A and B are shown apart, each in its own frame.
Chain A
Amino acid sequence: MSLAHINIFLAFTVSLMGLLMYRSHLMSSLLCLEGMMLSLFVMATMVVLNTHFTLASMMPIILLVFAACEAALGLSLLVMVSNTYGVDHVQNLNLLQC
């Protein structure tokens, strides 16, 4: 692959690692989720434009729309957690233990 592709791919991987490994705030996880979405968008746009695959040029925009919805969902969950506990420390989400 070309360097640009590798660059974007690396951005995606870094965001993925940031999503899965975080310390205490749920907010950082959601931010990394946005980062992942951003890198995916850029990657998709680049590929579509470089290969002149015009029929698929809707795909990044629709991806963006759905990502916005999911971001809203994630934020509402964050607000719920913050309502209950005051902070969004992830160690509070421990109801599913036995």
Chain B
Amino acid sequence: MNMFSSLMLASLSVLTLPIMSSILNTHKNSTYPHHVKNIISYAFITSLIPTMMFIHSGQETIISNWHWMTIQTLKLSLSFKLDYFSMIFVPVALFVTWSIMEFSLWYMHSDPYITRFFKYLLTFLITMMILVTANNLFQLFIGWEGVGIMSFLLIGWWYGRTDANTAALQAILYNRIGDIGFIMAMAWFLFNTNTWDLQQIFMLDPNLTNLPLLGLLLAATGKSAQFGLHPWLPSAMEGPTPVSALLHSSTMVVAGVFLLIRFHPLMENNKTIQSLTLCLGAITTLFTAICALTQNDIKKIIAFSTSSQLGLMIVTIGINQPYLAFLHICTHAFFKAMLFMCSGSIIHSLNDEQDIRKMGGLFNAMPFTTTSLIIGSLALTGMPFLTGFYSKDLIIETANTSYTNAWALLMTLIATSLTAVYSTRIIFFALLGQPRFLPLTTINENNPFLINSIKRLLIGSIFAGFFISNNIYPTTIPEMTMPIYMKLTALTVTILGFTLALELSLITHNLKPEHPTNMFKFSNLLGYYPTIMHRLPPLANLSMSQKSASLLLDSIWLENILPKSISQFQMKTSILISTQKGQIKLYFLSFLITLTLSMLLFNLHE
């Protein structure tokens, strides 16, 4: 009997302390954000101990606490599943959140509602923890909806801005469409396996799992911004940069992928769903990488980069490698959060300038941010032996050597090279060259909060991949032998992307501006997807429903067919036929004629 479960529960429950303190109103004082940040760092350190125990002994735990209710044969209780996935994700998430909290102490320093901001971030973290440690679908759904709600509140943080409100609503709507799939899966599991507990579902191993897995895939499409339900993620950049760093790069958007990873025992038996996942991920990663090529807002480029990496994770699930996808989730969190934090540092220093066409020459002005941006981009593109290499290169190798859809593989390789292209674009436009911002600048990165938080994630970006992949126990065996050209595929396409992008960017120094080509317009306007899908279907729906409800049903069936047509017909025919015109003279005249005639008849009748 060891302290595994107690320490894990302690680590999760200290997170709820600052929320409870709002009852005592201690959240009004100005040191509340520091309290929150400290609590998260304590929770992180506390959660390292059970993780190390897990790594050492492979002990997995399920904590089933409180029996909530039993509905006929369904037993709902509070249960935590502390297995491979949650034990490794919780410290990673807490570490990244700790750094982001410290960063937002600097970034949101001048915001009057900073305590509320930290409370929202903390609530989000708690719901995310509920999601990853859930053992039954009901608890997972609670966490799922919770992160959706907190995402809405945080994206619309500056609610005075119309675009922010629209983006928050967009996020909720797209997530809702995914939730339909989730609820369909829950209903199927309830009917066919009589439970929402993961253990029982996996034990029963139902045969025809197409429908629930489709539902879960739809849920993942909504939450993880796959193609078809993706526009909310770039719009979500309306929120403050810490929100983008936490929610929309490391934590919330991986919830969809996490859900699919949780269900890997069911997915490994269903080839159809695997092919669907593969193709969906391939489309997503290529499409969003294409869209990222011509964006001008630095946060949007990084958002599309996130979307592309999420597509890569979905591709990994599609080739039946859930553990690799999970590894990519963990490593991706580090460098993506750091990229967002660097962009936040640049934005704040240039006085809230987000357009990369108005940045430049920051290489000498902000050395620390430059360093971390370049290292983050290199880690993202999979430079050997940085963090991204351990997961991304493995994914590309496994995809190359597996019996899979060649088109999806080609898309993924092209998207990998495009990753290098847009990373070079960011570095080129934001850091290199001559400054394109206003001369009176407020460039200052000397704040210890900023530097410490980025430094922590920097060390994580460099070493975490090595660290994690050397300490986890082997799960699926990676492909060890392959031809040398396959081994070097990822590296080759990345270097190709780098050189191409550098060459193209250097050309922009010399040529005159020209009209955008069709391809450019396609990429810049996100493939016209939001333009079409946000206008046409609602218009068609509303006009069709108006026509069918009020015109068809009310006007035609209830009014016109019988009542009004009868009355009109009668009136027309009676006017046509009758001779009466309502003139009194005619009536008098006819009376006189009748009188005369009758008198003549009476007198002449013998």
Contact = CB atoms under 8 A, between A and B. Distances in A.
A96 interface: yes
Interface in A16-54: 16-17, 19-22, 29
A91 interface: yes
Contacts of A95: 582
Nearest to B592: A20
A69 interface: no
Contact of B581 (A20, A21, A97): A97
A75 to B, nearest CB: 17
A58 interface: no
Contacts of B575: 98
B574 interface: yes
Interface string B295-325: 0000000000000000000000000000000
A91 B581 CA distance: 10
Interface hub of B571, B578, B581 (most chain A Cβ within 10 A): B581
Contact of A21 (B571, B578, B580, B589): B589
A84 interface: no
Contacts of B72: none
B583 A21 contact: no
Contacts of B583: 90-91, 93-94
A22 B585 contact: yes
B591 interface: yes
Contacts of B584: 90, 93
Contact of A20 (B571, B578, B582, B588): B588
Interface in B308-360: none
A93 B592 contact: no
Nearest to A23: B585
Interface string A59-98: 0000000000000000000000000000000110111111
Contacts of A91: 583, 585
A96 B585 contact: no
Contacts of B580: 96-98
Contact of B578 (A19, A22, A29, A98): A98
A19 B575 CA distance: 29
A97 B592 contact: no
Nearest to A90: B584
Given A97-B580, A98-B574, A98-B578, A17 B592 contact: yes
B585 A97 contact: no
Contacts of A17: 592
Interface hub of A17, A22, A93, A98 (most chain B Cβ within 10 A): A98
A53 B265 CA distance: 127
B581 A94 contact: yes
Interface hub of B575, B578, B585, B589 (most chain A Cβ within 10 A): B585
A97 B571 CA distance: 11
A93 B585 CA distance: 10
A90 B585 contact: yes
A91 to B, nearest CB: 6
Nearest to A17: B592
Interface of B: 571, 574-575, 578, 580-585, 588-589, 591-592
Interface of A: 16-17, 19-22, 29, 90-91, 93-98
The 6 closest A-B pairs by CB, nearest first: A97-B582, A94-B582, A20-B592, A20-B588, A96-B582, A98-B574
8 contacts: A20-B588, A21-B585, A22-B585, A90-B584, A91-B583, A98-B571, A98-B574, A98-B578
Given A22-B585, A97-B581, A98-B578, 14 more contacts: A17-B592, A20-B591, A21-B585, A21-B588, A90-B583, A90-B584, A90-B585, A91-B585, A93-B582, A93-B584, A94-B583, A96-B580, A96-B582, A98-B575
